[in-house]
Each structure stands twice: as structure tokens, then as C-alpha cells.
């Protein structure tokens, strides 16, 4: 097959690298998704062979292991855990009928992406990850680390010029305001000190070695020689490399390219922009934590992109649940058994229905939306009595606002500029909305910051967001949302505040109907 996806890419799976492991989320998901147990059973056969230890016992035993424990005690286990969690998330999504158009990985995650696309077996993927650790340890482990600086890549390079150390390198360009630096530990201490003097924030990355630095060049040949002996197979899905800044091609010698990863930087921001420009609208982080989904949100800020985590705990809830809900609503995943699937096709096997929904579910949902919209217009016409409000959770639909409340008090005067009402600015509206959302979701108010992502960071699924927007519409007497309204565009508290404020301004700035909603 061609390595490049066909025009109209819509869904990209992203596999995390260093730091991409959430032990608590993985344990929670394992209780409900058998794919996790099956993936780690395959990993166990290799880790037992190589280390005399089963990775499943390390991660799912009585003692709960987090990433810091793994890094301190078993560096190999930290890398296999990240790899395994990514594959497990991929298998869960595939079992739900989600079919990505392209795969991409962040650093170590490129190995996971290639295995998910069939380039190597799951077991050989473990061997590759393990050998990656072993060859670096044989070079003395390279006494170094990685630090994320709150600065652009250009500013970071200028900072590194002040230190003038050849083994220091820009390892990753995550977004315009975050760049990761890799190199010897002592030299990085100087970099962090200089950054502090320049008011540039610095956060250490959870990683056993300083990847993507010239210091690892001596380890690359041995690694390439080992991978060359493994069975490389054709890709069954396109894989885009943020390191190579291109798609992997059928004639690529993966052993040599993976060895180059030791020293070449990761251009994650550029990769996300490229995928977005070629049509990607939904980015799903297949793996632990929610780091990549947050980075995507930063890189694509202002565009209508869904950025969804999986094996992370956000707002006390497993992010995977909300992500699957969102994918089902978008027609990208099969409906749950016992729900629409049971209603439409009770005798069809689950895997067959999932495959059908993956290919044609979007057409079914589009038909339902069209019919519902026509039905709503027909029931709202004429002199018929006003219909009962529709439930907010209708699958895949955007409900009209609830019935307007009693007449509001007289609106405040509008300033001469013509839009914003005097005495009712954005700050006041933001505080009111934050209180409303906090009370409805039973979250502390302080978690609702201006840029916090409701779904990716707080786990508020799309159905709940529709319900909350309906409450907001009712409280402020807003008109029904237009048919082109896209929930994904208003994914933060700040964007919701701006949307509501604009609606208030457009209709003459009605005051709220009540103090409590």
C-alpha cells in the first residue's frame, strides 16, 4: 500500500514517548478492557526471556508502580510500560471500530506506531525497546537528562549558544512555547540556571537517558545491527515521522532510521501542523497520560480540532471513557452494545458491527441529524403549542436551547462602541459560568481556568457539555444555536465565555434570568 494517506485524512493516532505512562489509568482500564491483558501477556514472554521478570507483574502486582518508581528501579520497565500502554490503547480503540487514517509517534512512540502498523511483531517491538536501553547502558548510561524549557526553539538555541557545549542539543520542539533540551547533567544545570535568570521556566522530563543528543551517537551502530536482524514487514497503515518529517516509505531500512533517532531531534509541532494541513481533524493520544493531547491543543489553537487522551485520569475519571463517547458521537467508533448497536443489529457479531460502523457510521449519523432537523422544524412551525424541551443527550445531535425563562430585568445600557454592556464584562461572565460548571460537575471552581480543556483535561464528555450549554442558554436567554454550531470549537472555559458574551452582545445583552441558574 502507499505510505501516504489518501486525501481527506480525518483521524490521527499519536503514541507518546518519554513520560507517557499513567499506571493508575492503565490499571483502571484493564478492569474493563481485555485487550490490555492480552497485549501485556505477549510482552511478558519477551521480558521474562530478557530479564527473568514479567512486565505484567511489575505493573499490575500488589505494589502499584508509577513511572518514577520504574525509572529509579527498572529503566527497561519504564520503556516497555510506555510501549505496552500505547499498543494496549491502540487495540482498545481498534476493538471499538476506530480506524485511524495515519499513525505518528513522539520519540519512543515511533517504535509503537511502526509496530501498530505491522512493521514488526509485538514481541519484536519489545526487543527493539529493550535493546535501545541496553546499548545506551553499555555506553556507560550517559550521565544526562532532558529538560523542557518554556521558550521557542529559536530562543532555546540562542540560550544553548551561551553555554557552547557540543553534547547539548534541542531534542524536541513541542510547540511555540515549549522546547526540550537534552545533554549531560552538569551542563544542563547551567542551562537551567541561565534560563531562570531570563525568566524561562524549566521542567525536568521523566526519562532514564538524554535521548536525541550527539552524546548517544556511539550507541547507534550496535542498535542498528540488532534491528537489522529482525523481520521487517510492510506497513498496513501510513506512519508519519516527526523525526524524519515525512511518511515512512515501503523501501525504508527501518534499522538505520530508528538508529538515527538516537541523535536527531523530534519536530512534533511541525508534524502536527503538517497533519492538520492535510486534513486531520481528530487527534487521539493512544497511550498514557495526556501530554500529547495537550500539545496538539497548543499547536492547533484556534482551529476546529478534537484532541483526545485515553489512558489518563482527568478530573477523577478515566479519559478513555470520554474519548470513546466523543468518537461514537462523531461516528468514528461503533455504538456500545446494549445501546444503538443492540437496537439496530442485535444478531450481528460485535466485531462485524464495529467494522461496519467504522466505515459507514458517519453516514448513518448524518442521515439521522438531517431527519431530526427536518422533524424539529415541522413541529416548531404553525400555531401548535410549544413542544416539550428535548433531552440534551440525543446521540450526535445539537439540541435547541431550552424554553426561555421569565422575562429578565431590564438590560444594562450599551456603551457607545455598540457591543459590550456596561457593568457586565467578560470577567464577571467568566466567574458566573465557572460557578455554574463547578456546581453541575461537582468540581472545585479553581480547576476551571481560562484555557483548561473540558474534555481533554477535565474529562467532561461531549454529551455533558451539550447539557451544560443548554443550561447556559436557558439561564441567559440565548437563541437556539445555529445548525453549523460545532461543539469541538468551544472546548475551553475561555472559548465558552467568549461565545456566550458574543451572543449576549448580539441580542442586546440580556441580564441573567436568575442568580443561581
Cβ burial, residue 361 (10 Å; 0-12/13-18/19+): buried
Tell me how far apart the alpha carbons of residues 8 and 349 are, in angstroms, rounded to a whole number.
30
Tell me how far apart the alpha carbons of residues 29 and 319 are, in angstroms, rounded to a whole number.
10
Q: What dotted CATH number matches 395-506?
A: 1.10.1200.10
Coil, strand, or helix at residue 78? helix
pTM for this model (two decimals) = 0.68
Residue reference for cell 553534547: 167
Domain ranges of the chain: 11-138+214-329, 143-208, 334-387, 395-506
DSSP assignment of 96-155 = TT---SEEEESTTHHHHHHHHTTSS-HHHHHHHHHHHHHHHHHTT--SEEEEEESS-HHH
Sheet (strand 11-15) strand order = 246-247, 239-241, 102-105, 11-15, 282-285, 306-308
User: What are all long-range contacts of 339-346, with beta carbons under 8 Å and residues at least 24 apart?
Assistant: 340/395
Predicted confidence at residue 358, as pLDDT, reads 56
The three three-digit cell numbers of residue 289, written as one number: 497520560
Same CATH topology for 11-138+214-329 and 143-208?
A: no
Predicted confidence at residue 168, as pLDDT, reads 92
> Could you write out the three-class secondary structure of 307-367?
EECCECEECCEEHHHHHHHHHHHCCCCCCCCCCHHHHHCCCCCHHHHHHHHHHHHHHHHHH
Predicted confidence at residue 427, as pLDDT, reads 87
Per-residue pLDDT of the chain (517 residues; tens, 9 = 90+): 445 654 456 899 999 999 999 999 999 999 999 999 999 999 999 999 999 999 999 999 988 888 888 888 888 999 999 999 999 999 999 999 999 999 999 999 999 999 999 999 999 999 999 999 999 888 765 678 899 999 999 999 999 998 888 889 999 999 999 999 999 888 898 999 999 999 999 998 888 888 999 889 999 999 999 999 999 999 999 999 999 999 999 999 999 999 999 999 999 999 999 999 999 999 999 999 999 999 999 999 878 899 999 999 988 899 999 999 999 988 898 886 555 565 677 677 766 776 676 566 656 766 766 777 777 777 776 444 444 443 333 333 333 333 333 333 333 333 333 333 444 688 888 988 988 888 888 788 877 888 888 877 787 766 677 778 878 887 887 876 664 566 677 888 888 998 888 888 877 644 444 333 3
Q: What dotted CATH number matches 11-138+214-329?
A: 3.40.366.10
8 Å CB contact between 171 and 145: no
DSSP assignment of 243-257 = TTTEE--TT--HHHH
Beta-strand pair 178-184/169-175: antiparallel
CA distances (Å), 100 to each of 90, 277, 312, 465, in order? 10, 16, 20, 25
What fold, for 143-208? Alpha-Beta Plaits (3.30.70)
CB contact set of 215 (below 8 Å; sequence gap of 6+)? 142, 144, 167, 182, 183, 184
Q: How far is CA 364 from the centre of its chain?
A: 26
8 Å CB contact between 145 and 65: no
8 Å CB contact between 279 and 7: yes
Predicted confidence at residue 3, as pLDDT, reads 58
Tell me how far apart the alpha carbons of residues 370 and 355 are, in angstroms, rounded to a whole number.
24
Residue 32 parent element (H or E): none
The three three-digit cell numbers of residue 249, written as one number: 516509505
Amino acid at each position: 500500500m502507499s505510505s501516504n494517506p489518501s486525501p481527506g485524512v480525518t483521524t490521527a493516532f499519536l503514541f507518546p514517548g518519554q513520560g507517557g505512562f499513567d499506571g493508575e489509568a492503565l490499571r483502571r482500564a484493564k478492569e474493563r478492557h481485555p485487550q490490555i491483558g492480552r497485549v501485556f501477556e505477549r510482552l511478558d514472554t519477551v521480558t521474562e526471556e530478557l530479564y527473568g521478570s514479567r512486565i505484567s507483574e511489575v505493573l499490575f502486582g500488589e505494589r502499584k508502580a508509577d513511572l518514577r518508581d520504574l525509572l529509579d528501579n527498572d529503566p527497561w520497565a519504564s520503556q516497555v510500560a510506555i510501549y505496552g500502554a500505547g499498543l494496549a490503547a491502540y487495540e482498545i480503540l481498534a476493538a471499538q471500530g476506530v480506524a485511524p487514517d495515519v499513525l505518528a509517534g513522539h520519540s519512543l512512540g515511533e517504535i509503537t506506531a511502526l509496530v501498530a502498523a505491522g512493521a514488526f511483531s509485538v514481541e519484536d517491538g519489545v526487543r527493539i525497546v529493550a535493546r535501545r536501553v541496553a546499548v545506551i547502558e553499555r555506553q556507560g548510561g550517559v550521565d544526562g537528562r532532558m529538560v523542557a524549557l518554556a521558550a521557542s526553539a529559536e530562543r532555546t538555541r540562542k540560550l544553548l549558544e551561551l553555554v557552547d557545549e557540543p553534547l547539548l542539543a534541542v531534542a524536541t520542539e513541542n510547540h511555540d512555547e515549549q522546547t526540550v533540551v537534552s545533554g549531560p547533567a552538569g551542563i544542563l544545570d547551567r542551562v537551567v540556571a541561565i534560563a531562570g535568570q531570563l525568566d524561562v521556566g524549566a521542567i525536568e522530563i521523566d526519562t532514564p537517558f538524554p535521548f536525541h543528543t550527539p552524546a548517544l551517537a556511539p550507541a547507534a551502530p550496535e542498535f542498528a545491527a540488532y534491528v537489522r536482524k529482525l523481520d521487517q514487514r510492510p506497513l498496513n497503515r501510513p506512519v508519519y515521522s516527526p523525526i524524519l518529517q515525512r511518511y515512512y516509505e515501503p523501501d525504508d531500512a527501518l534499522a538505520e532510521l530508528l538508529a538515527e533517532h538516537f541523535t536527531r531531534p523530534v519536530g512534533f509541532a511541525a508534524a502536527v501542523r503538517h497533519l492538520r494541513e492535510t486534513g486531520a481533524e481528530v487527534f487521539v493520544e493512544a497511550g498514557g497520560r495526556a501530554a500529547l493531547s495537550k500539545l496538539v491543543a497548543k499547536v492547533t489553537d484556534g482551529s476546529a480540532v478534537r484532541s483526545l487522551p485515553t489512558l489518563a485520569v482527568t478530573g477523577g475519571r478515566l479519559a478513555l471513557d470520554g474519548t470513546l463517547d466523543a468518537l461514537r458521537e462523531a461516528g468514528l467508533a461503533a455504538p456500545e452494545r446494549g445501546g444503538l448497536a443492540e437496537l439496530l443489529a442485535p444478531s450481528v457479531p460485535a466485531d462485524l458491527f464495529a467494522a461496519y460502523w467504522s466505515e459507514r457510521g458517519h453516514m448513518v449519523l448524518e442521515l439521522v441529524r438531517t431527519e431530526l432537523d427536518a422533524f424539529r422544524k415541522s413541529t416548531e412551525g404553525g400555531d401548535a403549542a410549544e413542544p416539550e424541551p428535548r433531552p440534551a443527550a440525543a446521540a450526535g445531535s445539537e439540541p435547541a436551547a431550552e424554553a426561555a425563562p421569565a422575562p429578565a430585568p431590564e438590560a444594562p445600557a450599551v456603551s457607545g462602541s455598540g457591543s459590550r454592556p456596561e457593568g457586565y464584562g467578560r470577567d464577571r461572565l467568566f466567574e458566573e459560568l465557572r460557578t455554574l460548571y463547578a456546581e453541575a460537575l461537582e468540581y472545585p471552581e479553581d480547576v476551571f481556568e481560562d484555557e483548561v480543556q473540558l474534555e481533554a483535561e477535565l474529562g467532561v464528555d461531549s454529551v455533558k457539555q451539550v447539557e451544560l450549554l443548554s443550561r447556559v442558554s436557558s439561564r441567559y436567554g440565548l437563541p437556539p444555536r445555529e445548525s453549523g454550531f460545532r461543539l469541538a470549537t468551544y472546548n475551553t472555559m475561555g472559548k465558552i465565555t467568549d461565545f456566550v458574551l458574543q451572543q449576549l452582545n448580539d441580542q442586546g445583552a440580556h441580564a441573567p434570568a436568575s442568580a443561581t441558574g
